[in-house]
Structure 1
Amino acid sequence: MTGNRDMVSYLYSVTPLEELASAGRVQLLVATISSDLYDVALKILNNLNLAREEKESLWFPLKLLAKKPSGIGNKSQPSVWERCLNSCFKGQFCNKAMMQVSAHQLVDRLWKLFTNDTNFSTLVSRHKQLVAEAAKVGNVEFLVILIRSYPNLIWEVDEDYGTLFHVAVEHRQERVFNLIYEIGVLKDNLTSLYVEGNKSMLHLVKELPSLDRLNIISGAALQMQRELLWFQEIEKIMPKSSVNEMSGPEEEKPLKDMFSENHKILQKNGEEWMRNTANSCMLVATLIATVVFPAAFTIPGGNNQETGVPIFLETNWFTGDSLCL
């Protein structure tokens, strides 16, 4: 649990895991995933022979991986260069890349254990939960691994969250949302779907996101710009009938007007931020000009206080010949 990789590797090499109960091995698997020790976790999983009724305990490790967007790489195998460096320097170099490859293999292995099960199609609620958790945190690589093996995940609609793209819009995860452009013309069917409360993607994007997603960019003006880009991008791919509809059954305002109203405070803060930034820049420019302007007209050495004649006027450095040289 402390993440001591060297000690864990040593203990794994001297511990007969086959003598441990299945529950104990699963607990070790969870602990290594929680501590980002994906290489050891993969070894434990490869030697984990569970009965069919015990495989359900592996949903939790898979859910843990869904919440680790930075831990999973886009490659299932390390490059030759990474393997050479890792073997020559005993894991001191390319350690992060090797961990990401191990995490990728770990997700792929766990997911295949479930997809190869005959009862896999009955666990739709579990699938939706995994997709929603990964989409919330922007875990693109996790979603790609799952979708490549089971493309129907794109079309599965959760009653609370909608599709994975609705979750991406609500939580402003642009990398996850960009997967919609890989679908082609079928994306129109996804954008026309409504989630709980009869909300489309435009309904979700007209609301302000959570503060942790809003504050990934500093400055209210840049935050407002990002929100506007989100609305324009969703508006571009939505059906025209949805774009021009009212915000709700009791509302008579179009969605674009509701977007402006919900972002009014952010827009005001952005304008104030721009004014403060402009004033700060003007102050700095004034200070620079105050120093540079007199310096440009000050003769080196200064002037004689009584006569006003430059002190170095008669020296060779101030003659025309010296200047030409």
Structure 2
Amino acid sequence: MSASIRRNDSTAKNYQTFILVGIPGTQEYDLWVAFPLCVLFVLTLLGNVVILLVIKAEKSLHQPMYIFLSILACSDLGLSMSTMPTILGVYWFDSKEISFNACITQMFFIHLFQWVESGILVAMAFDRFIAIRDPLRYTALLPNSVIGQIGIAVVFRGFCLIFPLPFLIKRLPFCRSNVLSHSYCLHPDAMKLACADIKVNVLYGLIIVICTLVLDAVVILVSYILILKMVLGIASHRERLKALDTCVSHICTILIFYVPMIGVSVVHRFGRHLSPIVHMLMANIYIAVPPVLNPIVYSVKTQQIRQRIRKIFQCRKVRT
């Protein structure tokens, strides 16, 4: 009798909303936290849109590397627009409640854009390998049709891997708690709240990580080992530096993508004794910082992009 009562209570208590959280114990400072996050969001939108417009307008940038960069910018925009409005709502308007379906939709797009970005970083590593190995046939080996196919394949891979995720979450009952650990919805965070067996979710999450992050990291590492081997085979010291310089932006983007992700994973796994503030700051850095840094890195390191941006601002000054 008591067991059936507990089952009935659990069924009756199946939550249909989740509660997002800000930085614990600092509610009076939420507006001060919201302001820099809002600035980062605006800079992300501005920076990535400018990159897209510059690549579209500058014919000399209609090359494989910059087409991949434009896909990366679209991915950063998608990730930012999927998360930042919710995060700002939590800190600015104390809007912490999110419906179950909205949460599932958000986690779908967050993970989709993450895996798309990971795939594009692999494509960019392959692009750098081709550019250094066979510079004279670079554009011939990577025509726009091939770039388009690679872009579609990366997005399709991400979609296929993430597609089962909403269904795996939706089948779970949530009767213990509905308070998430972050200001946005992630699959690992939500599944821990379920009052049912989550082995399938854990296993599928592990498969996704192996098929994306681990595999992509290995491919990127192998690509750069081959690139370094080719560069060391160049006789001229000046040509070596020139070849390596073309890879600097991509290496920075890889670090910007992987370091926060590894940092969040390490903090979650080994930093349980740390303050909740550390966990929340790492979670916000993981989502908010990479999309704003990528356009800055490429604007600083790519002369054509830098010159085009300068021209845009000079034209505006002349008009004013």
Sort the TM-score into its range (normalised by shorter chain).
under 0.3
> Between Structure 1 and Structure 2, which shows a larger proportion of helix residues?
2
- TM-score normalised according to structure 1 size: 0.23
By relative contact order (CA 8 Å, sep 6+), the higher-ranking structure is 2
- TM-score normalised according to structure 2 size: 0.23
Larger-gyration structure (1/2): 1
